[in-house]
Structures are given as structure tokens and as C-alpha cells.
Structure 1
Amino acid sequence: MPPEPSTPSARVTPVPAQPGDVDAIHALRRSLEDWMADRGVVQWPRGSLPRERVATQVAAGEWWVVPDGADDGRPGGSARALAATVRLLRADPDFWGDDTTPAVYVHGLMVDRRRSGDGLGAALLDWAAAQGRDAGVGLIRLDCRTSNPALRRYYEGRGFRAVGERDFGTHVNVLLEQPLGGDAGS
């Protein structure tokens, strides 16, 4: 996902995703896949996250959402619109291998393009870092494709540093981490 313009961090309190959020999470991901593909950004290829995988991850308690306040309380029980999402893990062998260093791992950080520039991405990173500190872990970790230098610069501008790469055969991801001694933006 491309970086947001540099703005002060908004304060957010994500809520755990519910089964009714699966379609909204998947739709947000698809819209961002399309947006990136239309601009030549190589991060999430179209269709790379099946709805069924999102449903499994939501059921496992991995997804957190920021509802779009303008759409809360929709009549008829229809799905709520989402301003942003983040997926948190306590281990990430798919990207970090058998590294057992206590950390919080960030995936699925998405901000609806209508909310771009609101500081939601930075706020979610701050929130994820706070979750890690509250859990007593010393690191926050994430990754991005090496083919997305703008996103890497965004994360490095937020204090993350590259510590390795993971070659998946079809693409390579850079692995980034940040100690959790202070705010994620420090």
C-alpha cells in the first residue's frame, strides 16, 4: 500500500473484527489492490487475498477494524463501512521463518482511499506498537515488497529499519522492525 501524506497521527481505537466485517475487509483490500495496480505499484496483486482466508483470520481474532464513523449504525444490519484495518500476529513464520523473538507483527494495514491523508496509517502503527508494549514484547515487525520503495521509505520514516529479506520465488519482501521502547513514531 502506498504511503499517506505526512500528517500528525490521528488517535484511533480499533475494534476486533466480527464475522460481519469479512466482506468489508475483503472489499477494502480489493479496492486497494485495484488502486495500486492502476498506478503500477507492486505490493498486493489483484486477487491475492481470498475472502475465505480473511474469514479464517477474522475467526482467529487477527483483524482489527476502524469503522467509518459516517456509516456506523446502518439500518437493517447491513455491514459497516471501514475507514481502516490492521491484522496483528504474535508470530509470523510465513515471513520471518522460525525466528522466535517476541514481537507484534503487522499485516493488512489498509486505509480507505477516501481517508488518505487523515493519519490513520500512522495512528494504526502507533496503536499496534502500544499493543506490543502492553503484551510485553520488545519489537514491532512488518514487511513490504522490495518492488515498493515508497512504502519502505514510509516505514523507515516512521522509525523502522530493514533487518533482512524473504525471497518467495515470485517476489522478495524486505523485513522491517522497530524496538518498542517508545512511540512508533520516535
Structure 2
Amino acid sequence: MLTVELASAADAATILGLRHAAEDWLAAREIDQWTPREVPLSTITAQVEAGEFYIARREPGGPIVAALRLIWSDPTIWPERSEPAGYVHGLVVDRAAAGTGVGASMLAWAAERTRGEGRALLRLDCAESNSALCSYYLRQGFRHVGRHEFADGSSWFSVALFERSTGL
């Protein structure tokens, strides 16, 4: 059983540590998803302070085993979509907890939280080239609804867009 709670400022470094571990794991497997060390602690801290990050523990007071960012609009990646939705970013799971259903539990929690906000859709994106992650999201009940190409000269890659109903 996971306990999910709003992250505090004291959690920012742990969230970044989980992300660094995920970045290293991806890079070691030559999976182009996140560039190692592209996100500074100041960015995570600002997102935590804005109330956007949530953390999960297996028991109250225990170590953080996962984190995700849940926001209520995402015009950078979803510019043509105006339906009220929740948007998941930065889902990370402690490598020691990988494969134990923690990621699925976090996505289920995000869907429930989004439904509680009166929003019928939960959305997320990932690198289009990361076929394993795309397949994972499909197995979690998301459907592929398109792609977004960053044509502004940024170093970002094309992303696959996924959404699922929150049951609302």
C-alpha cells in the first residue's frame, strides 16, 4: 500500500536523486528519454513550492519510493487540447521498487486525484522513440492520441501523447 502526499521543500533533493537514478538507468541502456542532469535542483524546488510534486511512501514516514508532478494545464506540449485534464510529468520510481507496481499505483492515484478535481482526462507524454515506455502506458489504460513535435529549434525530442479517462 502506498501513501501519496504533497511534497515538501525537504523532499526536493530526494526527488531529484530519484530522477538522476532514472536518467542514469536510461542512459546506460541508450534510451533517449531524459538527458542526464538537465533539470537542476532549483527547478524541482520551484515545482515543489508551487504544489505540483507528490511523493509516495510504502509506510508513513518511510523512504520516498516514487514521485510525480501533477499539473492542471500544459500548453507547451498539449497546445491544441482545451478539455480540462490533469497532466503527469516526471514520474520516477526508486530503482529498488521498479517492477513492483509502484508506477501503476502512482498513475492510478493521479487519475483519482484528477477526477476529484472534476476533470475527465489524465494525460502524459514520453519520448516517441521510447517504445518500452509507450507500451507501458498503453498497458496502464492510456490510449495514444497523437504526437507533438518541437519545431521551435529546441533540443527537445518528439513526444507521444497519451490520455486515459478518469471515470468521471
TM-score clears 0.5: yes
Identify which of structures 1 and 2 has the higher relative contact order when contacts are C-alpha pairs closer than 8 Å and 6+ apart: 1
Q: Could you tell me how far apart the structure 2 residues matched to 1:145 and 1:41 are? A: 9
Equivalent residue, structure 1, for 2:7: 17
Equivalent residue, structure 2, for 1:107: 89
Aligned residues, how many? Answer: 164
**Normalization by structure 1: what TM-score?**
0.83
SS in 1 for 2:89: strand
Determine whether 1:92 maps to 2:74. yes
SS in 1 for 2:3: coil
Q: Could you tell me how far apart the structure 1 residues matched to 2:98 and 2:162 are? A: 23
1:100 Cα deviation (Å)? 2.1
Determine whether 1:119 maps to 2:109. no
Q: Deviations over 1:73-123 (max 9, x none)?
A: xxxxxxxx4200011011011211153210011111111010112210000
1:71 Cα deviation (Å)? 7.0
SS in 1 for 2:90: strand
Determine whether 1:52 maps to 2:34. no
C-alpha spacing 1:104/1:45, structure 2 compared with 1 (3 Å)? same
* Matching residue within 154, 163, 166 for 1:177: 163
CA contact (8 A) 1:91 1:104 kept: yes
Tell me which amino acid in the other structure corresponds to 1:67. R
Structure 1, unaligned stretches of length 5 or more? 1-10, 73-80
* Matching residue within 118, 121, 130 for 1:136: 118
Moved over 6 A (4+): none
SS in 2 for 1:144: strand
Tell me which amino acid in the other structure corresponds to 1:91. S
Tell me which amino acid in the other structure corresponds to 1:26. L
CA contact (8 A) 1:33 1:44 kept: yes
C-alpha spacing 1:127/1:68, structure 2 compared with 1 (3 Å)? closer
**Normalization by structure 2: what TM-score?**
0.91
* Matching residue within 12, 15, 19 for 1:29: 19
CA contact (8 A) 2:3 2:57 kept: no
SS in 2 for 1:118: coil
Determine whether 1:165 maps to 2:147. yes
CA contact (8 A) 1:13 1:127 kept: no
* Matching residue within 136, 139, 154 for 1:154: 136
CA contact (8 A) 1:160 1:176 kept: yes
SS in 1 for 2:66: strand
